[in-house]
Structure 1
């Protein structure tokens, strides 16, 4: 499968360059259509680090897009997905804690776009390298979210995922939607799967989130996503006339969950 890697970045100097180089080493050139970094208005040397790699000519398909103002991780992801030229998207966080060597493994579980296969494969972080308080907060948040949404996602905060571009673009957009992608994909009739992935220490910079702001925003978003799921209907086309006339491809089954 030809894949576009999309990486949102905010003040990730010291991390983003290394992550780009690792990504090109990990994903076979025959499969990597492009790598797009979306700079969410960084004020450090993140742009210089990326542009130096582009100018080196060693990384074909490496692209840099910059927001005029800070708009958040979900907005950056959406910018990158809109700009992508391939039907398959792989995403990672810009801090380098995700391991790009996991991308080929995730792609093995992904179905062909438009098929009845899995439309999103999400990572489950093993041996997390965050602080104890963040690990505890993440477990609590995942438990609360799954209790409400019933999406069976054990690690919604893991940034490394692969999915169909067209399925993502059909989803309703809101800030923080990146934390609810498995639930949203299921709501729109797509199958999802999960796979254990590596987790690494941040090498430079600081996290852009803390437990308090995640909790406050998470509660607000959880109410909204729960409402969306209840109010969304995705019917299947079971008959058409005349036979063979062009039509919108039916969505796959609703709320179909696959765990690996």
Structure 2
């Protein structure tokens, strides 16, 4: 079981007077070189909107925590830190639970997702309604050929077995209502199956093309073989969840 946040290394600034309209949740592990630039881009993308940025440090061993504390002095950042690494999904869950806005945007901490796409996805989410998840679709990926190939295969297999009809479930850039997310069952690696979980809960999923950029700083914390190994087990688990739950409908 993943431990609670580290009290000694969790920075909780005084909430602003104006409640945020959207909370941006960014899971990070050893992304110290990316903190300053990414936070600045998020702030610029949402400059005209009351917002907060919840950067969840998932037990980093580099200077991510120090970089987040510095960023909090300049931007609407709320750094949170796990006492030890619990995984990307745990970081997302921690951020969403701590968020104060009714709408959530998530993106990866490596700088490959473009924060400039957040307003577009958020507008689509508000138009579609609170029961809809808007998933980013990296139509032109800036990754290695191996990563692109394995992701393409994984997306096809997931779509076939889970019926989530989402071309890019692995894109970290997503927008959804906080209430919708909190209805989903939390588990390790759940972030890879959010479309299927939302559909299981009775919601809808739509995809929106987004920009994708090459990684400029740091190194990936996830290996291809690691993702494939745990992905199969997780896929079977989500299939089990789908078959073990029928959403009840009340009679009029």
TM-score, structure 2 as length reference: 0.89
Mark the runs of 5 or more structure 1 residues left unpaired by the alignment: 240-260
Moved over 6 A (4+): none
Q: Distance in 2 between matches of 1:116 and 1:84?
A: 19
Report the equivalent of 2:33: 14
- Counterparts of 2:249 and 2:188, CA distance in 1: 29
Q: Work out whether residues 17 and 53 of structure 1, in 8 Å CA contact, stay in contact via their aligned partners in 2.
A: yes
**Matches of 2:131 and 2:163, distance apart in 1:** 18
Larger Rg: 1
Alignment of 1:1-260 (within 5 A): 2-30=21-49, 32-55=50-73, 58-59=74-75, 61-111=76-126, 119-239=132-252
Q: Which residue of 1 aligns with 2:16?
A: none
Comparing 119-128 with 176-185, which one deviates more in the overlay?
119-128
Once the two structures are TM-superposed, the CA of residue 33 in structure 1 deviates from its matched residue by 2.4
- Give the C-alpha shift of residue 28 in structure 1: 3.3
The superposition leaves residues 96-126 of structure 1 with CA deviations (integer Å, 9 ceiling, x where unpaired) of 00000000000111137xx856521000002
Taking the aligned partners of 2:131 and 2:247, their CA distance within structure 1 comes to: 17
Distance 1:48 1:117, change over 3 A: closer
Contact 1:99–1:199 (CA<8 Å) still a contact in 2? yes
Contact kept in structure 1, 2:130 and 2:176, CA below 8 Å = no
Counterpart secondary structure, 2:214: coil
Structure 2: how far apart are the matches of 1:188 and 1:117?
13
Aligned residues: 233
Gaps in structure 2 of 5+ consecutive residues:
1-19
Instruction: Indicate if the aligned counterparts of 1:14 and 1:203 stay in contact, CA closer than 8 A.
Output: no
- Are the counterparts in 1 of residues 27 and 92 from structure 2 also a CA contact under 8 Å? yes
The residue that corresponds to 1:244 in the other structure is: none
Partner residue in 2 for 1:257 = none
- Root mean square deviation, CA, Å: 1.5
| Alpha-carbon offset, residue 53 of structure 1 | 1.7
1:138–1:153 distance in 2 versus 1, CA, 3 Å: same
